Amino acid sequence: MSKKISLTTKILIAMSLGLILGSLINIFAPDQAIIQNYFVHGLFHVIGSAFINALKMLVVPLVTFSLICGVCGIGDISALGRIGLKSMLLYILTTGIAITLALAVAITVAPGKDFTQQQQTTEFVAKASPPITDVFINIIPGNPVEAFAQGNMLQIIFFVILFAIAMLMTGDIGRQLADTAEKLNEVMMQVVTLVMDFAPIGVFCLMTKTFSEQGFALIVPMIGYFSVVILCLLLHALGTFPLFLSFFAKLNPLIFFRKMRPAHIFAFSTASSNATIPVTLQALEKRIGVNNTTAAFTVPLGATINMDGTAIMQGVATVFIANVYQIDLGLTQYITIIGMSILASIGTAGVPGVGLIMLAMVFNQVGLPVEGIGLILGVDRLLDMLRTVVNITGDATVTCIVARGENTLDDAIFNDPEAGMIAELHLPHRAR
């Protein structure tokens, strides 16, 4: 009758074991040839690098299918009108605020600034950042097949959105393709699950290798990174969203957060925006008073394209890794990070761990080493749970604003503390 250990617990255990073993190797066997050659730079390096490659492997198909499903989920072209445009602009706005806030706080606090690499560590030379004009021009792919082959995410996102809109305009043929994309997206979600099942092993190897090379000196900047991400998440959730609710939706933020509590608990426990959709819809419709015609459209759309928490992680992580590797990022690169994070959030599926996949894309775009993800991977799962709470809060906030504008929000239900109350919340079971 032993209780099954969750993936979160497994990853935290693996992180701790890797930290301990790596630190012991760093202290007692820094010059032991067998341990260094066959384990640190052999077994741990191979498995850790393979796991990073597995994460990168998922990027292109995951973005393609989830984006098609997100755009086609809107329905016909007429539905892309008033409500669709309003929702998308608000989601993009909140994501832009989130990434800008994250970069501003991270640049100010500078997590990882005091991190010093060992002398024998190979120095990483950053690629020259392209002019900002070229970044905008190159969003449009001259050859879509080449863009997919090379993994140029800006071009892929542009092409897939354009293709999905064309699918909506095509009618029956487009609907058949959309059904196929939905099935392929389900398969890709399962592939993500398979890869994440190996996350504890990958985390253990990455953490062991990192700490065997750096020792306990790495703990301080990791605490700094963790703290800055949490600070930015709190500022966005308790600052940006209440302001939006007060000024645009004319709602009391305290009542809103109280009525969203069941969805917050479920989001934290699953770390999945998609899995939380039924509970979010229930809270918005039964407890807050948003009409189903608005909520049924904006919530699934938000779970696909609104990833404020993920954008915050990407902003802080980019500054953190740049500081660790002592790479100076310019204004053009920061603007690129903002643009990339906004576009990437549209293609980030609402499942655990996908934010790391998108982070690899951002790193490549601004010339940071992808292997730097290994430094933050151990604490990412816990942060992922907190990010999901911020993500679904953003979905609910935008839904309330759109509903207020469309006069589909019932204030009597919102102001009734007993509205929608049920004795026990029956959460949907996730297929494993």
- Name the average pLDDT for the chain: 79
State yes or no: pLDDT of 331 exceeds 60: yes
State yes or no: pLDDT of 257 exceeds 90: yes
State yes or no: pLDDT of 12 exceeds 80: no
State yes or no: pLDDT of 235 exceeds 90: yes
Helix (H, G, I), strand (E, B) or coil at 409: strand
- Domain limits, the chain: 7-415
The gap between the terminal CA atoms of the chain, to the nearest Å, is 19
pLDDT tens string 397-409: 999 999 998 888 9
* Spatial separation of the C-alpha atoms in residues 247 and 257, rounded to whole Å: 16
* Spatial separation of the C-alpha atoms in residues 272 and 309, rounded to whole Å: 12
> Can you give the pLDDT at residue 126?
36
The DSSP secondary structure of 356-387, one letter per residue, reads HHHHHHHHHHHT--GGGHHHHHHHHHHHHHHH
What mean pLDDT comes out for the span 248-256?
94
Q: For residues 103 and 319, is the Cβ–Cβ distance under 8 A?
A: yes
The DSSP secondary structure of 103-141, one letter per residue, reads HHHHHHH-TTTT----TTSPPP-PPPPPPHHHHHHTTS-
245: enclosing H helix or E strand: helix 241-247
> Can you give the pLDDT at residue 245?
95
> Can you give the pLDDT at residue 77?
62
> Can you give the pLDDT at residue 56?
73
pLDDT tens string 347-364: 555 455 566 777 777 887
The CATH-assigned architecture of domain 7-415 is Orthogonal Bundle (1.10)
* Spatial separation of the C-alpha atoms in residues 386 and 178, rounded to whole Å: 32
